[in-house]
Structure 1
């Protein structure tokens, strides 16, 4: 069965964006960007919510000419990677993407059962729809030293707790990564 990871930049107080939806505080330095490139290269499928897809599609296929080699590498990885985009409002997607308009939970269950590699979920709202169903196997939190005081929380309200086990910690220059696996 495919493993589903939820890798996300998060503020010290648990938000993935600020009250205005900004994520500018998550810009990776070169070391962290290379780590994400290497991690992304190993994925079979990247799952995107609508907002995450639109954000990524607005930038990565059209990066500026003066972009760094690491950014250019990620742009190629992102545009070529198989993506599944979950949206009820989009009518088309590009760059090796498939659009799914209904029942994200059932589609993710199906995708997990069709292989034995690794998928990631990108987008807090999409992840929030999957977390209560126990579909996330691993959480990779990239904790930034910023307190936002509000925004979109990393985790949705839950009816029951999720027991996790710390599998790895890693210190980067700008963030600390905590990797947790579901028991």
Structure 2
């Protein structure tokens, strides 16, 4: 069965974006950017909600030719990576993407059962749909040194707690990684 990771940059107070939906405060240093590029190479599939897909699709397929090589590399990785986009409002998706409009939980169960590699879920709303069903195997939090005071929380309100086990910490110049396995 595939392993599903939920990884996100977040503020010290637990938000993945600010009140205006912006993530400009998560700008990675080169070491962290390279870390993301390298871990992205290990993924088979990424699962995105509509908002994150649109945000990523706005920039990564169109990285300017004069952008740093690390960004150009990630642009190629993101564009080529198989993606499943969950949305009830989009009518089409591009860049090696498949659109799914209904029943995210059942579709993710099916995708997990199809292989034994690693995939990642991006988008707090999509992850919130999957959490109560025990579909997320690992949580990777890249905590930036900022307090936003509001925005979209990484974790939704849950009826039952999710037990986690710390498996890695790592310090970067612009963030601290806390990696947890679900128990």
User: Normalization by structure 1: what TM-score?
Assistant: 0.99
Matches within 5 A, 1:140-179: 140-179=140-179
State the superposition RMSD in angstroms: 0.5
Deviations 1:43-70 (A, max 9, x none): 0000010001101111011112221000
Partner of 2:81: 81
Matches within 5 A, 1:9-158: 9-158=9-158
Q: Give the secondary-structure state (helix, strand or coil) at the position aligned to 2:112.
A: helix
Partner of 2:4: 4
Whole-angstrom distance in 2 between the partners of 1:26 and 1:80: 23
Deviations 1:129-166 (A, max 9, x none): 11111110000000011000111000010001100000
Whole-angstrom distance in 2 between the partners of 1:18 and 1:75: 24
Q: Give the secondary-structure state (helix, strand or coil) at the position aligned to 2:160.
A: coil
Q: Give the secondary-structure state (helix, strand or coil) at the position aligned to 2:102.
A: coil
Whole-angstrom distance in 1 between the partners of 2:94 and 2:150: 33
Whole-angstrom distance in 1 between the partners of 2:19 and 2:90: 24
Whole-angstrom distance in 2 between the partners of 1:56 and 1:16: 14
Whole-angstrom distance in 2 between the partners of 1:53 and 1:25: 19
Whole-angstrom distance in 2 between the partners of 1:47 and 1:106: 13
Q: Which runs of 4+ in 1 moved over 6 A?
A: none
Whole-angstrom distance in 1 between the partners of 2:97 and 2:10: 26
Whole-angstrom distance in 1 between the partners of 2:35 and 2:161: 30
Between the two proteins, the alignment pairs up a number of residues equal to: 183
* Structure 2 residues without counterparts, runs of 5 or longer: none
Whole-angstrom distance in 1 between the partners of 2:134 and 2:158: 11
